[in-house]
Amino acid sequence: MTSTFHNEMKLGEVTYRLSATTDSDESLTLDLLGSLDSGEVIADGRLRLPVEGGATIGKLLSRVLSAHTRLRTRPSRHANANQPWTEPLDTTLRTAWLTPTEDTAAKRIRTLADDMQRSPTAIRARLPRVGCDPDIPGRELSEVAAALLGGKSGPTQGRT
């Protein structure tokens, strides 16, 4: 026996329609359609699963979608968070770190993070990759330290 449940809700300008159909082969099919008032479809999908897993999968989907929504609505404090590092950015970071300063490592990292619109953790993690010692401003990594930290040694260190 086939049975179908339909539900519809409007969020802003989008109307979402969800139908759940159980088939005689004991499967559950969920169909989702999201459309604007103009009729333009902006969401469309189908999920097929065993009927006995419906409630559990519903809870799982709810948790995942809620977490995703929270992540998407919380703006990053750092405009360049999760952006790839480029060679010019690496050069800027390296040059700034190796420029003499009286700042402590922590203060210098915070300053660079603010300037580059990245987190202090991202700056500290990147320093060894550009050949800089993240514990001492102005110092390049030695070959031994670079090997331990997974970075590269400074251009003047360990070379003939």
CA torsion, ordered 113, 115, 118, 120, to nearest 10 deg: 0
44-65 pLDDT, tens digit per residue, is: 999 888 888 788 888 888 888 8
Average pLDDT, the chain: 87
68-92 pLDDT, tens digit per residue, is: 777 666 666 788 888 999 999 999 9
Cα separation, 28 vs 151, in Å, equals 51
Per-domain residue ranges of the chain: 3-73, 87-149
Closest CA to 36 of 57, 59, 17: 17
Q: Which CATH superfamily is domain 3-73 in?
A: S-adenosyl-L-methionine-dependent methyltransferases (2.20.25.110)
Instruction: Please give the structure tokens belonging to residue 142.
Output: 């030695």
90-123 pLDDT, tens digit per residue, is: 999 999 999 999 999 999 999 999 999 999 999 9
